[in-house]
Each structure stands twice: as C-alpha cells, then as structure tokens.
Amino acid sequence: MRTPTPIVLLIAAILFAGGCGTSGGDNASDTSTSASTSTSTSTTTTTVATIEVEEWAATFCGNFGTWLDGIQAASTAVGSQVTAGDFASAQTAISGLFGTASEVTGVLITEIEAGGAPDIDDGEGLVDDLVDRFGQFVSAADQAKADTDALEVDPATFEADAKELTDRFSAEVESVGESFDQIDADYASADLNAALTKECAF
C-alpha cells in the first residue's frame, strides 16, 4: 500500500470512487454489437476492438496506476524544489506540478483510447466517457498552470493567492470527479465492477 500525498489522495478519491465502478449494479448483458462491423447492409462501420472484461480492467488499472505514480512523484518533488521564503521557486514548482498533471493525464487518455472497449453493453460509450472526463481534468490542470504562471510574486499576497488558486483547482477537479458517478450508473456491470475492484488494488 502506498502512502499518497494529500493531492494524490484528493485525485485518487475523486476519480477512483466513480471511475472504478464501486456500485453493485446488475450485470449488463454481454454484447459486442456496438463494437463490431455491421454486415447487415452494404455500409460498414469502423471496427473497434472489444476486449475481455478482465483483460481490459487489467490494462486500464495498470495505466491508471502509472498515471497515479506520475502525479505522486510530481507532488512529492514539489517540496524539494521550494526554498523557504523563495516565492519564485514555489511558483515554479506549483506550475510544474500542474503541468505534469496535464501531461501524464494526456498520456493516460491516449492509452485508454488505444486499449479497446470492454466487452459490456456499450463498452465504447464507457471509453468515450472516460476520455471526456479525463479531458476535463487536463483542462482544469492547464488552467491552473496558466493562473499560477500569472501570479504576482509578492511576499505579501503570494501565499493567499496560491491557496485561492489551489482551492479553485480542487473544486474544479471535484466537479469533474463527481461526473464519474454518472459513468458508474450508465455502465453498471457486475463483471466489470468485480474486475476493476480486483485489478485496481492501489
């Protein structure tokens, strides 16, 4: 078991609660019709790989764990990058943290898109929604970085300004995280829930 920093705990709690399917919804009927090529007409659709639920969960959780490690490493490094009383170094470190959060999340999005769709009802829709939610997280991190870079390095106001910015980012991330509850409801699958619970054992 890792010992996460507060920032990691926040992100993990928000994203994990809904994103890894903690509800005990009924098992959706297994179907790959949404991910297969239609042969009923002369028009063909793009084939999207349908992956066995346990295999998809293992891949997703592995990628998610790498993402979490990246966030944790960046968060841990902040302390070593800041010199007491040096607000410029604090600004650079905080900006770097948000920048790293955006970068590693972009990598995670690419991996989710490349990982196929789990073999559940509308698995493609699940992947699309996951990508959308993590995309919102990237947007929040990018905005937080821009706001941090724009802060005045004034000893009299920097600490309060930085806290306000961080609180705002936390609120935005919380809003994104709450949307994962809807994903959990929309794609309720006992098989997927069990696989994610098993594989996402951080």
All structural domains of the chain with their residue ranges: 12-19+49-199
Q: Environment class of residue 163 by beta-carbon count within 10 Å: exposed (0-12), middle (13-18) or buried (19+)?
A: exposed
Q: Which are the contacts of 73, defined by CB distance < 8 A and separation ≥ 6? A: none
Cα dist. 191→21, 57, 67, 114, 127 in Å?
10, 10, 24, 21, 16
Is 202 a residue whose pLDDT tops 90?
no
CB 119 within 8 A of CB 32: yes
Phi-psi region of 140 (alpha: psi -120 to 50; beta: other; left: phi over 0): alpha
> What is the per-residue pLDDT across 109-119, written as a single tens digit (0 to 9) for each?
999 999 999 99
Rounded to 5°, the CA angle 131-132-136 comes to 115
Is 102 a residue whose pLDDT tops 90?
yes
Cα dist. 142→19, 167, 183 in Å?
21, 15, 24
The contacts found for 151-158 with CB under 8 angstroms, 24 or more apart, are: 151/91, 153/87, 153/88, 153/91, 154/87, 155/85, 155/87, 158/87, 158/90, 158/91
How far apart CA 74 and CA 78 sit, in angstroms, is: 7
Instruction: Specify the pLDDT at position 48.
Output: 66
Residue 42 DSSP symbol: S
Global pTM?
0.71
Average pLDDT value over all residues in the chain: 74
Instruction: Specify the pLDDT at position 175.
Output: 73
- Which residues are paired to 51 by β-bridges? 118
How far apart CA 25 and CA 126 sit, in angstroms, is: 15
Instruction: Please state which of the ranges 30-39, 123-132, 141-150 shows the lowest mean pLDDT.
Output: 30-39
Is 183 a residue whose pLDDT tops 70?
yes
Instruction: Please state which of the ranges 134-138, 161-165, 177-181, 185-189 shows the lowest mean pLDDT.
Output: 177-181
Instruction: Specify the pLDDT at position 182.
Output: 75
Place of tokens 């990628």: 63
Instruction: Specify the pLDDT at position 133.
Output: 87
How far apart CA 143 and CA 134 sit, in angstroms, is: 14
How far apart CA 5 and CA 3 sit, in angstroms, is: 7
Mean pLDDT of the region 124-143: 91
Instruction: Specify the pLDDT at position 22.
Output: 32
